Structure 1
């Protein structure tokens, strides 16, 4: 990716399509001058930063395109660290496109995806981890994903990584100094203190690595499958959870042939609920495909809501179904449905107390919406089994996870080297590797390919 920071760029900063207002953003050394040539009102070049001005936008022939409000940010006190002008127009596609083309004719060029945030990073307004959090914040669709993105964007994660990295640099400099005096056989770095530091940094990194599974779930939503036998009430339960008639409900067994996916927000955590075809020996080729899809969805999901009819399903059938469905990385809730038909059903009838299988038991009547709120609470608790403080540092980015993993491995090699009594140059090499991987997270170590991959996923106006 080439970085033409001397260009002035322009793009629509609001979503495309008709609306009340559309905002066009200019950024670069000539942003104010270019806007001034089209803006009729006060001279923007003569105005102080962080001021708002009303006027009209006119083309080269003096024809009024729109009455607008121009917001002025004089660099470096702006999002990108450059001169920035945001022009708020009426949200007509025609007006917005005419205005953007006017700014292009006056000397700006169209921005690339993520180029505004890339410039903010390159100009030192934020580090790479914070820049990535901008995209996560825009994409956040629940309280939990919003909290993680905000915490990262405000520098909480970056500050923690930078602090660890600086402590390691302080020791690394002493090791490097030893290399300069290798002939004198001197030792500047206390090996026992270095070993204690590496152990402490590893513990912190391990906690961050352990948070990734939860962070990824909170960021992307919890994949949750509703499965069970035909006519167990799976689709009725989905409708009850969503509080709408989303799935077709019928007394005819095998009504659901394909998966149905919907999003449910429970206490700020987003669940991707998947209703599946009933598990049984299929009667035709289409139903067989549906059953196969059910098994595939269960294998790739984090949560399973197994639904069974308490009036029609025997305990050994329930246990046989769960034996097919349960895998190592899935949390299971057993929804004992149609409890209104058999209210004396108890968990121990299906899972004796000495049974090795321990599943969370939720008695429900999906048709009557009995205990549906308790099921929602159980789903939420299944994800947040520990009291999670969403303001604490949680890793939710796969790139960060990979860099932390590599840093952890490099530090493990440092400890192995210290234990084996290897020479300072090899210890220094492993410390440099750990510093490199930690630096990749915040952007202190970066490449054009890395930056191109990250910022190409942003929207054009950001």
Structure 2
């Protein structure tokens, strides 16, 4: 366990508030705070106890009345001695306390340094450490659950156990290299194959979950497309319950992409209103249509909105074929149901041969049904439904891909009866990726890059 130089930072959000908490961690944290504190002798107090008193300036004047909580190593977040000072949330008071701590040899913490120390001291692995930042940044029920799952160990503990088994096999394979001329085999090839297959069975659901996990973390990009005057801007305004987009009977009013966010059943959707799909009448509209097509390529989901009153069945059939070519999950949404005859509605449903969600964007009819369909489409992912581990981090995904590719090469090598040195090379690559994923193999640059994205005080 490390007991590094003492650091301090404001652990609560900056700004004026009723209470602020200043966190101090590292060697001498309790002794240093005690020198500023007028109350009980903190050096004699047990871990996880809180004490009321005052903090004073060097001249004895009172800075503030405070509540000091003592956490003794290793039973703290950082596994070091930690003190948390609860004071009034005045910027002046906070700065006064930090200056006093600085005068006693405490330096200001870097972004994420408390969590970095927790990782270095073995409190959790790197995946769990990154989940701390994701948990703080979570803004929906789904992103909260995904971050909490990773914070509790998620998939990393299982991968660490499998990695250790793979290390044992690699050691045996490399031992064979020392007996190359004697043609011995210490690593049983069938057992090695079964282990690699078992690891890949763990990896594949995680890899498959990334598109959903990334959408959960960053919001599900959902693009609304359709012909001009289908009611896309009206629908966006109705879903957001505000006049976000300009609505007009003139075709081609929307020339640029308009985005906003909507939370449905704890999932954040990034709704994107786009220019109508048609033959452009001018250069500016052409740019807007090109942006629409790009947004369709980038989206996680497509809402194809059509004017149920004015569209012909053959036209709808062509539109559906175009949407299908995007390869994206999509919903067919028929607008203006309030002015649509039952006969026309039935004709369109027959030609579509798939469910249509009928709405009236202008009167807000059946918008709840549309929201439920959007939520259901995301929640069809098994990981989201069951609360299983979901990969939300691009760094994790890259290392999982690297591991899977290396294991695939190793399995192909077994089939081709490659020599132990070639087999060992692919296994080492797999171990490298797994080690960098969980933090068992790290570099200072990697840690600096990860923890620099954290807020100061965490």
Structure 1: gaps of 5 or more residues: none
The 1:346/1:136 distance shift into structure 2, 3 A limit, reads farther
SS at 2:199's partner residue? Answer: helix
Distance 2:135 2:412 in 1: 40
Given the alignment, which residue of 187, 193, 196 partners 2:185? 187
Tell me which residue corresponds to 1:174: 172
**Structure 1, residues 66-88: CA drift from partner, whole Å, max 9, x if none?**
11111111111111111111111
1:433 aligns with 2:429: yes
Paired position in structure 2 for 1:115: 113
Is the Cα contact below 8 Å between 1:5 and 1:28 reproduced in 2? yes
In structure 2, the CA distance between the partners of 1:343 and 1:245, relative to structure 1 (3 Å rule), is farther
Contact residue 147 and residue 390 of structure 1 kept, 8 A:
no
Q: Post-superposition shift, 1:234?
A: 1.7
Normalising by structure 2, we get a TM-score of 0.93
Match for residue 368 of structure 1?
363
Distance in 1, matches of 2:283 and 2:206, equals 47
Equivalent position of 2:131 in the other structure: 133
Can you list the C-alpha shifts for 1:196-221, whole angstroms capped at 9, x where unaligned? 22222222212221111111111211
> C-alpha distance in 1, partners of 2:142/2:328?
21
Are residues 1:382 and 2:377 paired?
Answer: yes
- Call closer, same or farther: CA 1:283–1:105 in 2, change over 3 Å: farther
Contact 2:212 2:381 in 1 (8 A): no
Alignment of 1:193-208 (within 5 A): 193-208=191-206
SS in 2 for 1:340: helix
1:68-87 superposed matches below 5 A: 68-87=66-85
CA distance in 1, matches of 2:354, 2:445: 47
Tell me the secondary structure at the aligned position of residue 55 of structure 1.
strand
Distance apart, 1:385 and its partner CA: 2.5
Q: Provide the residue aligned with 1:88 in structure 2.
A: 86
Question: What's the CA shift for 1:128?
Answer: 0.6
Q: How many residues align?
A: 456
Distance 1:195 1:112, change over 3 A: same
Q: Does the 8 Å CA contact 1:339/1:345 hold for their aligned counterparts?
A: no
Structure 2 SS opposite 1:141: coil
Structure 2 CA distance for partners of 1:58 and 1:254, relative to 1, 3 Å? farther
Verify the 8 A CA contact 2:297 2:326 in the aligned structure 1: no
Per-residue deviation, residues 379-414 of structure 1 (Å, max 9, x unmatched): 112222244434312211111111111111111121
Distance 1:66 1:326, change over 3 A: farther
Q: Secondary structure at the match of 1:304?
A: strand
Deviation string 1:234-291 (CA, Å, 9 cap, x unpaired) is 2222232233444343444444443332211111211111122333455555544443
**1:320 positional shift:** 5.0
Residue aligned with 1:132, SS: helix
Would you say the 8 A contact 2:3–2:80 is kept in 1? no
Q: Tell me which of 10, 25, 28 is aligned to 2:23.
A: 25
Normalising by structure 1, what TM-score? 0.92
C-alpha distance in 2 between matches for 1:344 and 1:351 = 11
Deviates more, 1:114-123 or 1:87-96: 87-96
The 2-side partners of 1:242 and 1:345 are apart by 32
RMSD in angstroms over aligned alpha carbons? 2.3
The question of 1:98 aligning with 2:96 is answered yes
Is residue 299–residue 327 contact of structure 1 (8 Å, CA) maintained in 2? Answer: no
1:260 and 2:263 are equivalent in the alignment: no
Indicate the residue corresponding to 1:291 in structure 2: 289
Q: Distance in 1 between matches of 2:256 and 2:451?
A: 36
Select which of 426, 449, 453 maps to 1:453.
449
Bigger mean CA offset, 194-203 vs 50-59: 194-203
Q: Distance in 2 between matches of 1:109 and 1:390?
A: 44
Stretches of structure 2 that go unaligned for 5 or more consecutive residues are none
Query: What are the superposed Cα offsets for residues 279-315 of structure 1, whole Å, 9 maximum, x if unpaired?
Result: 3455555544443433332221111112222222334
Q: 1:347 to 1:192 in 2, by over 3 A?
A: farther
Query: What does residue range 268-417 of structure 1 map to in structure 2 within 5 Å?
Result: 268-282=266-280, 286-319=284-317, 321=319, 327-344=325-342, 349-350=347-348, 352-353=350-351, 360-388=355-383, 389-417=385-413
Q: Distance in 2 between matches of 1:177 and 1:348?
A: 72
